[in-house]
Structure 1
């Protein structure tokens, strides 16, 4: 497990935090326990001194001295000498009783060589004898007119402290590796949702719009899932816009390119200078139309992506309609269809996007011209009402049955009655442009008795 692994980092960070907390606590506990033990041991020495004092007061010092059984009990732990007169074992506690003149009247043999203590006050001292340090309590017994000294070797206390330290520290030292393994297992189990998330992402089909869901996802992972699903949705929307833009380019540029090719072929097919000039002028006009169409497509793509919302402006639909009809003049002339649009000097103003409204109107007219047979008619009507502006394109073509009208807005859908090489994108572009203006689209029956009536209603507050 390396530190580049989130699991490893969490495991070692938890272990490190435990050590950072436990080690100071252990040191504090050890020092506090040692101080408590010292205090308790000093209290035990004082208690022993007072016990001897009470015994002396009850029996009398002469009675104690004459008690052979007691003296034998005290002397039983006498020092055993070894080679070189170095003691190998001795009693770890002892006592001494002095008269007011400092004469030893009673005591244990292991304290005979202990240095003297102050005889005028009760106090604790640390005195060295041979290889050991003794903790000595001197008690001045004024009631019996005696001085009692009780001592205990420090190694006795150290043995107790070491035993406590071993008993408390050894389980921690032995349990730390086990704890590290358990922490690693717990972290791995806690990170299972991340493994499940990675698996869900790796198995996700390209282009899928299904949100990523995890069964029993932890609360901390919910914001990540929400943000991730939102990001994936935005990416899919961006890819879909790219795909639509590519298809729209092919659809929107087909008409001006066809006009350019037609004019160039006419110029190549004749030797008449005036006809060549007219054909080249038409080709030049179509090139300008193509350039404007490309600019409009780019603007429409930016608008759809929400990157140019500041371009919202007041647009005159009558002016837009005039420009679109002028652009489609070659198409209208070649279709043999009569286009009716009553001229008006009164502007019809809406709040919207010029490029989107032009694309919507152009595709409505092209769609009608493509379906109406030669000799038919198409009418364009733009009217402003109290709460909305309506735009209607009416034709006397074969129309669309009511049960199929919802399907025509799908991309790449083409009706069997369509003429020419369409791509089935016209009404899809119309629907998107209408959506930018909160406009509604209705496909109705034509008042001509046959054909289709497309009605777009743009709210004045769009």
Structure 2
């Protein structure tokens, strides 16, 4: 059965471990104790037999043989039974002894063992035998010089009492202690997992859109990495949601104008009775649609970069080869604008990055420069290595950007103050996002030959 609750799992596992450990330990301890008790009882029997040997020597074996017909019997019941009686039992009746002659005749015995037959046990042997309804443990001591055999016996009643007492002593604590221990362990687990309840409550009380980090009073050390990761995830999630909200609003705002212009031009073309006027309106509508397509492509590119979904995994990219591909791609725009492009590239320069993001970075840097320089203007693209970094530099002789507005130009839909450019204020936002993806940096500086703009991007090498 699967336990859904973490508390139930911990409790079941801990109790199972306790049972697996404590029960075998209790069993082994009881078994070892019983063995010790048996050895002690056997040693007591042997000691009693040797004590009797000394007494027999004092009495004299010949004297015992002379009175054999009298069958000397030692009483096995005390004259003061209340002194040696517990719960109606007389312990004197549970021990006894026998002394046999060499021919097996009984010389001396206690009353309770008088009827136990002689056996051919060797000297120092222990044996179990029955007399009536009782089972006895007997030790045999053979005196070869006197030709007599001494046997000391003990009923198993007392040993069984000790055995039962030991089993109760070892099992009762387990039977009573395990449920109590399970209850205490369950309480301890609830107390120990209380920070998880506090964390669940803190998350349940959070308001939608809140970016406040989650904190717990007296948070355990083990939960600190979880809280750190959780707060980081909440922050990233809120940032992603905020980007989505801004992007949706920006898309709606930016696409509304070209769509409205297209509709107006189409309506004018349909309403016009003059072919020339209709053709002009259709051409204007087509330009609006071309503008809309380009703006949509830039918005999609920005969305992919902001989501971090660059094409493919990060790998080794040759910046020089990539820059040549981008220049070839933009050659129609260069020719149409009458722009002179200077290129200074190494044979090869490798960086670790996303090919699609770096392509977008180079394309937007050059596209911005081409659209903001006047007809016949000049744009320089250079890529070089400086230490362990790669520098991408794009310089144009356009109107440039005032220093106080350069930080704001990375915001989406922010355009320069010149009227010559036909951009939408997305180029530098796309460039900045690509720079962030690569842990690089970007700077907007003054042109090297007077007016203009110099953009410098620094990337770590492969």
Compute the TM-score of the two structures, normalised by the length of structure 1.
0.73
Pairing partner for 2:304 from 295, 302, 305: 302
Equivalent positions of 1:133-148 (< 5 A) are: 133-148=135-150
Partner residue, 1:275: 277
Count of aligned residue pairs for this structure pair:
419
Partner residue, 2:23: 23
How far residue 343 of structure 1 moved from its aligned partner, in angstroms, is 2.0
Indicate the SS of the match to 1:117.
coil
Equivalent positions of 1:247-262 (< 5 A) are: 247-254=249-256, 256-262=258-264
Partner residue, 2:155: 153
Indicate the SS of the match to 2:146.
coil
Q: Deviations over 1:25-75 (max 9, x none)?
A: 122222222222222211211111111112222342466799xxxx89745
249 and 114 in structure 1: CA distance in 2 versus 1, 3 angstrom threshold: same
261 and 436 in structure 1: CA distance in 2 versus 1, 3 angstrom threshold: farther
Determine the C-alpha separation between the residues in 2 that align with 1:407 and 1:300: 17
1:131 is aligned to 2:140: no
62 and 320 in structure 1: CA distance in 2 versus 1, 3 angstrom threshold: same
Equivalent positions of 1:166-177 (< 5 A) are: 166-177=168-179
- Which sits farther off after the overlay, 14-23 or 352-361? 352-361
Partner residue, 1:390: 394
Determine the C-alpha separation between the residues in 1 that align with 2:162 and 2:29: 15
Q: Deviations over 1:294-327 (max 9, x none)?
A: 334323322333322449743545964964997x
Determine the C-alpha separation between the residues in 2 that align with 1:323 and 1:414: 20
Q: Which runs of 5+ in 1 are unaligned?
A: 81-86, 327-340, 370-376
Determine the C-alpha separation between the residues in 1 that align with 2:293 and 2:28: 83
Contact 1:260–1:286 (8 Å) recurs in 2: yes
How far residue 7 of structure 1 moved from its aligned partner, in angstroms, is 1.2
246 and 64 in structure 1: CA distance in 2 versus 1, 3 angstrom threshold: farther
How far residue 152 of structure 1 moved from its aligned partner, in angstroms, is 0.7
Equivalent positions of 1:69-148 (< 5 A) are: 74-77=75-78, 91-118=93-120, 121-148=123-150
Partner residue, 2:352: none
How far residue 357 of structure 1 moved from its aligned partner, in angstroms, is 5.2
How far residue 430 of structure 1 moved from its aligned partner, in angstroms, is 5.9
Partner residue, 1:57: 57
- Which sits farther off after the overlay, 355-364 or 207-216? 355-364
Q: Deviations over 1:112-161 (max 9, x none)?
A: 22243225654222111222111111221223321111111112101011
Determine the C-alpha separation between the residues in 2 that align with 1:310 and 1:29: 66
Contact 1:93–1:152 (8 Å) recurs in 2: yes
Determine the C-alpha separation between the residues in 2 that align with 1:408 and 1:389: 18
Partner residue, 1:45: 45
Q: Which runs of 5+ in 2 are unaligned?
A: 82-87, 347-354, 385-391
- Which sits farther off after the overlay, 346-355 or 160-169? 346-355
Compute the TM-score of the two structures, normalised by the length of structure 2.
0.73
Determine the C-alpha separation between the residues in 2 that align with 1:382 and 1:307: 30
32 and 379 in structure 1: CA distance in 2 versus 1, 3 angstrom threshold: farther
Determine the C-alpha separation between the residues in 1 that align with 2:62 and 2:332: 140
How far residue 203 of structure 1 moved from its aligned partner, in angstroms, is 3.3
1:8 is aligned to 2:8: yes
Determine the C-alpha separation between the residues in 2 that align with 1:432 and 1:223: 29
Determine the C-alpha separation between the residues in 1 that align with 2:57 and 2:382: 124
1:343 is aligned to 2:323: no
